[in-house]
Structures are given as structure tokens and as C-alpha cells.
């Protein structure tokens, strides 16, 4: 099996070679952790967004959409806690001048202890075979016990240092002898907090300009509009407001391609509920969101929940849906029970009431909120990386195929005249003229037809329609299925129905 890193490298290069994702401003050597979506990427991304929007907004009578501005009144970010608490603890190496997240350095160290323990476990497993009892081994083997208890102790001290005193985090780094991963130097500065928000200015003159931030999340645009939407839409609790849009974070350790970017897109929904009913809705949305992911058919084994033990200041329950990315299980979506923290904070800072009159209870209250928040770019990476496959065919040849869920594929069908003459291009174009009202379709007449099939496989196109000499006689074509490579001879008039059946959002969302 190919190594994880190789698979990931392949994902990045395929995305570039086939026009999905380019580094931003590449002619100037790019901008770190910023990417552009190319001709095929923009279609895939749009389809994922639409798939989310349809399932959240169109299919739910009590959820409506919103498109709030990226720039917001700066007090928003005081109230939300981002000005004071949206920080990463940073440490610099004085020799190499490299900057790191102090907590990540310690976590990586702890993870190495974990790996050492795992190695011992694997060795023992190989030795004892079927008789191996993992639980017993982990609690009795002296080495494993030592590695794991040391790991726990380090993580506990890190957590305490992060909340109480960052100097303790530095002391921990020194005590463990953690070195700069790139140079080996142990000459560290103090740990300092670094705010992740990008600042900008509104206004022309230096004196009158107002300091603003690019929003680090879309959620606050929903909270400040809560009452406007509730009143103008005559919404009744429970109801939700959904939004997709750009968010900006000055991430320090921005690697792993589009997994962690400085400019990214979120798809968020805030669901407003009666106080006391939030847990039931939290569980409802956890399950519903997982079902949405599973409906895409990327494999149940690739998802897991991670319930948070340590909660953010605004939450009374939180979980991540983690996905098995090429570099391991990582957060894809967060589901948070945010209490009434945000609306109350905006009441306090704005001096306005943000309350709902519940006609059934005959009382006013600040609703509680359950949030679902998924990164569109991370979704893209999950779908793209899992779909990219290398296959060995029966004749021993290899093919690269992007097995995207057909509903998300950028191009639904490619129409290919077998040869560039005898009127076949003309018929192909007529087919395109007809289908393009409903689907994204492509035309390709260059190279031998086998090579054209392979190119469409690599682009993730679910169908190839080939026009040949028989078409001239009986108005039939062959339709080739990407995943099975099976070809059927069908009437031109049947094409729309065949494609529709496989790509319609309805058919996919019904699997939820
Ligand atoms: P992480 O722990 O990975 O930094 P987070 O917990 O800060 O993520 P949230 O604030 O809960 O993330 O944001 C919700 C979602 O937005 C995440 O689940 C993720 O899919 C996406 N997201 C967050 N930060 C980034 C980023 N820098 N680049 C791309 N997507 C992101």
C-alpha cells in the first residue's frame, strides 16, 4: 500500500494538474496557506455548498438562509469573546527564528509517547497472536504503563498551563527538553498569546479610520441578525438560520493543503431553541449531520464522533465529526450547544433586547442555540481525497479515477465523437445543446477515445457519451459509466433520464 504521505502528495498534485486547486498568486510563488479554486474545483465546491444548502434550508420549513457581510461592527468581536480569547500560544526559537504553537510542540511530544506505547502493543500482539489481550497488556506492561501515564501527565499539565499561566507551558517545554523540530535548538523565548483575527481599517484618513476585523467565523453575523430574521420572517422557536461564507484566521501552523487555510469558507447553521430543550436538539443535529455526511457514500468507517470533555467558554456540550483524511482522523464539522452565551453578550454590549416572545409559554426569553459548523474546504478535501483512486484493470493496466459522488461531480457527462469527421462532431454538439440546460456537460474530440475516457475518469465525470457511425443510422449512442467502465447502447432521447437518475440531489438526499 502506498504511504500516507505519498497519497496526500498525489492528492495535491492531482488537484493542480486537473484544474481543481491552484496555490494563490502562484506567479509570485504563492501565498502561504491561501488557495484558489480552479475551473473544476469551483464547480465541485459549488455543488457541495448546494448539497448542504438544500438539505438545511430548502428541506426544512423552519430554517432560513442569510448572507451577512464579512465586515461587521467591531464591538461584535468584543461581545463574542474573539478580541480577548481567540488566541494561540506562540513560542519563538531564538536561534532559528522559527515560530511554533507552544501547545502543539507539547502535544506532539505526548503523541510520540503514545506511538512508543503502540509499538510495544503491536510487538506483543505479533508475539502472542490470538491469545493477546490488549486491555490487560496496556494495564500491566511496565513500559506501556509508563509511556501512557507520562503522556496523560504531560497533557494535564499543558491544559492547566494553558488556562492558568503560560510560563508553566514554557517550563514544561524546557523540562521535557523539546527542541525546534527543524534545527534541534532548545533556545526558546517566553510563550505569548497571539490573536488569530486579521485586522483592517475602514475610512480614508488615518485619524478617522476605524479598526475592523475580517470575520473569523460566520456565526456572529447570524446572532446579530437573529431578531431581524425572527420578526420579518415571523419565525417561531425552534427555528434556524443558515449561512455559507468566507472566514479569515491568521493561522500560525497552516499546513496540510486546504485543511487549514487563512481564508476559508464555512457552512454554519444556528438553531434557536427554548432554554432547557437544547440537549435534545443537540443530539438531533449530531445525528442529522452525520447522516448528511453518510449520504455521500464515502464509507461509514471514515467518520467518527469526538465528544469534547473540555468545553469552550460558551458551550455546555460539543462534539466534532471527525473524518479519516489522508493524514489521519481530524475535525471536519463541529456541533456545539452554545447556550444563550452569544445572544446575551450582544444584548449586554448593544444595550438592545434580543429576546423572543413565546406565545405558547406566554413569556419572553433569550433562546438557547445549537450550532452546526462545517468547513466547505475541509469537506472538499474529504470528498476529493477519498474519491481519488488508482485501479489495476483486468488487462494489468492502471487507471486513475476520481470516484466523486455523482451528485457533486463538476461535469456530469462528456460527449465524445468517435472521430472528428462524417458529421459526428455535429451530432455531438446537438446532444450538448440539448443537455446543457440541465447539466454541466463537456465536449472533447482530441486524442483517441480511450485516452479521452481516462481523462474524464481523472476529472470525476460520471458519464461519457460516445457518438459513432451507428448513431448516424439509428440515433443511438454508447454511454459509459465511470466506476464500472460498463458501456450501454441507448437512444439519444434516453440520455437525460439516465443522467438525471444518478445525479439528482433528491435521489442522494433521500438516502439520509
Ligand atoms: P481546528 O480545531 O481544526 O482549528 P476549530 O475547532 O477552530 O478547528 P471551528 O471554529 O469549530 O473550528 O470552525 C468550524 C469548522 O470550520 C471546522 O470544523 C472546520 O471544518 C472549519 N475550519 C476552521 N478553521 C479552518 C481553517 N483554518 N481552514 C479551513 N477550515 C477551517
Kindly state the average pLDDT of the residues 43-69.
98
Contacts for 403-407: CB closer than 8 Å, 24+ residues apart: 403/460, 403/482, 403/483, 404/44, 404/460, 404/462, 405/296, 405/297, 405/298, 405/508, 406/462, 406/502, 406/503, 407/47, 407/51, 407/296, 407/503, 407/504, 407/505, 407/507, 407/508
> How far is it, in rounded angstroms, from Cα 15 to Cα 460?
12
The DSSP-derived string for 187-241 is: -B---EEEE-PPEEEESSSTTT-EEEEB-S-SHHHHHTTHHHHHHHTT--SSEEE
Q: Is 49 annotated as a binding residue?
A: no
Protein residue closest via CA to atom 9 of ligand 1: 334
Mutate to test the pocket of ligand 1, among 373, 376, 377, 384 (most ligand atoms within 8 A of CB): 373
Q: Where in the chain is the domain with CATH 3.30.930.10?
A: 2-70+213-285+319-385
Model confidence at 370, in pLDDT bands (50, 70, 90)?
A: very high
Kindly state the average pLDDT of the residues 250-262.
86
Whether 154 has a pLDDT exceeding 60, the answer reads yes
Q: Grid cell 450547544 — which residue? A: 337
What is the predicted pLDDT for the residue at 313?
79
Q: Is 182 annotated as a binding residue?
A: no
Kindly state the average pLDDT of the residues 343-354.
97
pLDDT tens by residue, 481-495: 999 999 999 999 999
Task: Tell me the CA–centroid distance for residue 331 and ligand 1, in Å.
Answer: 7
19-33, 135-149, 192-206, 293-307: which range is least confident on average? 192-206
> How far is it, in rounded angstroms, from Cα 251 to Cα 465?
45
The response to whether residue 381 sits with its C-beta less than 6 Å from ligand 1 reads no
pLDDT tens by residue, 175-219: 999 999 989 999 999 999 899 999 999 987 777 788 899 999 999
Kindly state the average pLDDT of the residues 36-57.
98
- Per DSSP bridges, beta strands 441-443 and 413-417 are parallel
327 vs 416: which has the higher pLDDT = 416
Kindly state the average pLDDT of the residues 77-85.
92
What is the predicted pLDDT for the residue at 87?
87
The domain 397-509 having CATH identifier 3.40.50.800: the answer here is yes
Mutate to test the pocket of ligand 1, among 52, 264, 342 (most ligand atoms within 8 A of CB): 264
Whether 1 has a pLDDT exceeding 70, the answer reads no
**Closest-lying ligand 1 atom to the alpha carbon of residue 249:** 27
pLDDT tens by residue, 294-312: 999 999 999 999 999 878 8
* CB-CB contact of 272 with 236 (8 Å): no
Q: What is the pTM of this model?
A: 0.88
The response to whether residue 266 sits with its C-beta less than 6 Å from ligand 1 reads yes
Q: Where in the chain is the domain with CATH 3.40.50.800?
A: 397-509
3-state per-residue secondary structure call for 292-324 = HHHCCCCCHHHEEEEECCCCCCCCCEEEEEEEE
Burial of 157 (0-12, 13-18, 19+ CB in 10 A): middle
Cα 375–chain centre separation: 4
What is the predicted pLDDT for the residue at 255?
73
Whether 418 has a pLDDT exceeding 90, the answer reads yes
Enter the C-alpha cell of residue 160. Answer: 492547566
Fold held by 2-70+213-285+319-385: BirA Bifunctional Protein; domain 2 (3.30.930)
The response to whether residue 335 sits with its C-beta less than 6 Å from ligand 1 reads no
82-91, 241-250, 319-328: which range is least confident on average? 82-91
Q: Residues of the chain with pLDDT > 70: what percent?
A: 99
What is the predicted pLDDT for the residue at 119?
93
Q: Mean pLDDT across the chain, nearest whole number?
A: 95
Burial of 38 (0-12, 13-18, 19+ CB in 10 A): middle
Helix (H, G, I), strand (E, B) or coil at 339: strand
Task: Tell me the CA–centroid distance for residue 323 and ligand 1, in Å.
Answer: 13
Instruction: Give the burial string for 311-341 (b: 16+ CB within 10 Å, else e).
Output: eeebbebbbbbbbbbbeeebbbbbbbbbbbb
Instruction: Give the burial string for 216-253 (b: 16+ CB within 10 Å, else e).
Output: bbbbbbbbbbbbebbeeeebebbbbbbbbbebbbbbbe
Q: Grid cell 488566541 — which residue? A: 87
Length in residues, the chain: 512
Whether 2 has a pLDDT exceeding 70, the answer reads no
Task: Tell me the CA–centroid distance for residue 330 and ligand 1, in Å.
Answer: 10
Task: Tell me the CA–centroid distance for residue 217 and ligand 1, in Å.
Answer: 9
What is the predicted pLDDT for the residue at 162?
87
The response to whether residue 445 sits with its C-beta less than 6 Å from ligand 1 reads no
28-42, 250-264, 359-373: which range is least confident on average? 250-264
> How far is it, in rounded angstroms, from Cα 284 to Cα 159?
30
Amino acid at each position: 500500500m502506498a504511504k500516507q504521505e505519498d497519497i496526500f502528495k498525489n492528492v495535491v498534485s492531482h488537484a493542480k494538474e486537473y484544474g481543481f486547486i491552484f496555490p494563490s498568486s502562484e506567479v509570485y510563488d504563492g501565498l502561504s496557506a491561501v488557495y484558489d479554486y480552479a475551473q473544476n474545483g469551483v464547480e465541485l465546491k459549488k455543488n457541495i455548498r448546494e448539497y448542504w444548502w438544500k438539505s438545511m434550508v430548502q428541506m426544512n420549513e423552519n430554517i432560513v438562509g442569510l448572507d451577512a457581510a464579512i465586515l461587521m461592527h467591531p464591538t461584535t468581536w468584543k461581545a463574542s469573546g474573539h478580541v480577548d480569547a481567540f488566541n494561540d500560544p506562540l513560542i519563538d526559537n531564538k536561534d532559528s527564528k522559527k515560530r511554533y504553537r507552544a501547545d502543539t510542540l507539547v502535544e506532539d511530544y505526548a503523541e510520540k509517547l503514545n506511538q512508543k506505547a503502540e509499538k510495544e502493543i503491536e510487538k506483543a500482539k505479533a508475539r502472542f497472536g490470538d491469545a493477546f489481550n490488549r486491555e490487560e497488556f496496556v494495564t500491566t506492561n511496565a513500559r506501556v504503563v509508563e509511556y501512557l501515564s507520562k503522556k496523560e501527565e504531560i497533557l494535564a499539565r499543558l491544559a492547566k498551563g494553558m488556562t492558568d499561566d503560560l510560563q508553566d507551558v514554557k517550563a514544561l517545554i524546557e523540562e521535557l527538553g523539546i527542541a525546534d523540530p527543524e534545527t534541534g535548538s532548545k533556545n526558546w523565548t517566553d510563550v505569548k498569546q497571539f490573536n488569530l483575527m486579521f485586522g483592517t481599517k475602514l475610512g480614508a484618513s488615518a485619524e478617522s479610520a476605524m479598526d475592523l476585523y475580517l470575520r473569523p467565523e460566520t456565526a456572529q453575523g447570524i446572532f446579530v441578525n437573529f431578531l431581524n430574521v425572527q420578526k420579518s420572517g415571523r419565525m417561531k422557536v425552534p427555528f434556524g438560520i443558515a449561512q455559507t461564507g468566507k472566514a479569515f484566521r491568521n493561522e500560525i501552523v497552516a499546513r496540510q493543503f486546504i485543511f487549514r487555510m487563512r481564508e476559508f469558507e464555512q457552512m454554519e447553521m444556528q438553531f434557536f431553541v427554548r432554554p432547557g430543550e437544547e440537549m435534545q436538539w443537540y443530539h438531533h443535529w449530531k445525528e442529522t449531520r452525520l447522516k448528511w455526511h453518510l449520504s455521500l457514500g464515502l464509507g461509514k468507517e471514515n467518520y467518527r464522533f469526538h465528544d469534547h470533555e473540555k468545553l469552550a467558554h460558551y458551550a455546555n456540550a460539543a462534539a466534532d465529526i471527525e473524518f479519516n483524511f489522508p493524514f489521519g482522523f481530524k475535525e471536519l464539522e463541529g456541533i456545539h450547544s452554545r447556550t444563550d452565551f452569544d445572544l446575551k453578550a450582544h444584548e449586554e454590549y448593544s444595550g438592545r433586547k434580543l429576546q423572543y416572545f413565546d406565545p405558547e409559554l406566554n413569556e419572553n426569553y433569550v433562546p438557547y442555540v445549537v450550532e452546526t459548523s462545517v468547513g466547505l474546504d475541509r469537506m472538499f478535501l474529504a470528498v476529493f481525497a477519498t474519491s481519488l483512486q488508482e485501479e489495476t484493470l483486468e488487462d494489468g493496466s492502471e487507471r486513475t479515477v476520481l470516484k466523486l459522488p455523482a451528485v457533486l461531480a463538476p461535469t456530469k457527462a462528456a460527449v465524445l465523437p468517435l472521430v472528428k469527421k462524417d458529421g459526428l462532431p455535429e451530432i455531438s454538439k446537438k446532444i450538448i445543446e440539448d443537455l446543457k440546460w440541465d447539466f454541466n456537460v463537456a465536449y472533447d474530440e482530441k486524442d483517441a477515445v480511450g485516452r479521452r475516457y481516462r481523462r474524464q475518469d481523472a476529472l470525476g465525470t460520471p458519464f461519457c457519451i460516445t457518438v459513432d457511425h451507428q448513431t448516424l443510422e439509428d440515433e443511438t449512442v454508447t454511454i459509459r459509466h465511470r466506476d464500472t467502465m460498463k458501456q450501454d447502447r441507448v437512444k439519444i432521447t434516453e440520455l437525460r433520464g439516465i443522467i438525471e437518475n444518478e445525479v439528482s440531489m433528491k435521489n442522494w438526499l433521500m438516502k439520509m
